[in-house]
Structure 1
Amino acid sequence: MRGEAGLLADLESLAIPFTAHEHAAVFTVAESDAVNADIPGAHTKNLFLKDAGGVFWLVTVPSDARVDLKALPGAIGCKRVSFGKADDMQRLLGIAPGSVTPLAAINAEPGSIAVVIEAGLATAERVNVHPLRNTATLGLSGAAILDLLRHWGHVPRAATIPVQDKP
């Protein structure tokens, strides 16, 4: 597993601009709201899922999105999904719950996980994600995230993610 050091090396070698912010550990979107107030750009949440066919998915959406998990499979092209287990996350991505990020795909063998980025994030100028730990945030473009994923041998998808209406 290449980890954060490998991530930072790839950002440098590929000349991808980013900003880094250190902060207190955050485990939920609600906890990250206070941190996010001081960091410009789109903020994210990430879903580690497993479909009925046994395929693992990492889906990145805007932090305020209430993903419709019943409609999601149709949007991303899979069967019914459920949340993946922490031990699978550790085995495939080398991270623990609370630190989920599309950048963890650096640790995943190509083809071991399907990575989906919400379409608006994929084209955003600045997307904020964890650098494999929940005590920091990196801001980089959606295009740069897709470039990194491809560099690591993945075939990321940008998709319109179905959401539920807010109460």
Structure 2
Amino acid sequence: MILYEGRPEDVSGRLAREIRTYDFLDKLGISYQRTDHERADTMEACNAIDAVLNVVICKNLFLCNRQKTAFYLLMMPGGKKFKTKQLSAQINSARLSFAEAEDMLKYLDIEPGAVSIMGLMNDREHSVRLLIDEDILKDEYIGCHPCVCTSSLKMKTADVLERFLPAVGHTYRTVQLKGEE
């Protein structure tokens, strides 16, 4: 894997959702580094990518309540275990579960394995609430997919929070996940 500055020079063969991500980040003037790789749709596959980017790629979970009336994108460190009960109590939403692939596509224009904060640029109705584990906010950089699981990005956490999120009209809520209980 090679580390590149910014978007690919040749975008042929890349999905439109990936190109739109680069276009949007470039429009906002957010600098990023990128690496291309085989499908990385598990945290194990992301470990080698972490070494190239010199950042820990977030575990991103797309969740919903049982009635499918509330959707959440949870960003957390890859090494933490997700405990539904811990999160449910903090956000006052019982019966959280993983959302369906159709919902990922509908709200974030993302397929399973590529869930990323970048998908919020496609949530124009603001149907998805962003939840970020406090440990993610401590890092200078965030690693994520550009809406596909065959490339990964590294960008400053401050740029994501202070420039990207306001541009897409989203805010976030900090949560505290213990990881074990």
Match of 2:94 among 68, 79, 86: 79
Q: CA deviation at 1:58?
A: 0.5
The C-alpha deviation readout for 1:56-97, integer Å capped at 9, x for no partner, is: 001011111102111111223423311101111111111110
- Which of 75, 78, 83 in structure 2 is aligned with 1:68? 83
* Identical residues among aligned pairs (%): 27
Cα distance in 2 for partners of 1:26, 1:80 equals 28
Taking structure 2 as the reference length, what is the TM-score of the superposition?
0.82
Describe the SS at the equivalent of 1:133.
Answer: coil
TM-score w.r.t. the length of structure 1 is 0.88
Structure 1 residues without counterparts, runs of 5 or longer: none
Q: C-alpha offsets along residues 8-52 of structure 1, whole Å, 9 cap, x if unaligned? A: 222222221211111111111112223323220222111110024
Q: Alignment length, in residue pairs? A: 164
Q: Which of these residues, 119, 140, 148, is aligned with residue 164 of structure 2?
A: 148
Letter matched to residue 80 of structure 1: R
Q: Which amino acid aligns with 1:97?
A: P
Out of 40, 46, 59, the residue aligned to residue 32 of structure 1 is 46
1:87-134: CA deviation from partner (whole Å, max 9, x where unpaired)? 111111111100000111111124211011222222421111000000
Query: Matches of residues 90-129 of structure 1 in structure 2 within 5 Å?
Result: 90-129=105-144
Structure 2 portions without partners, runs of 5+: 1-15
> Which one is further off, 118-127 or 130-139?
118-127
Residue 124 of structure 1 contacts residue 143 of structure 1 at CA under 8 Å; is this kept in 2? Answer: no
CA distance in 2, matches of 1:9, 1:38: 23
Q: What is the identity, as a one-letter code, of the residue corresponding to 2:130?
A: V
Q: What does residue 9 of structure 2 align with?
A: none
Q: Which has the larger radius of gyration?
A: 2
For 1:8, the equivalent position in structure 2 comes to 22
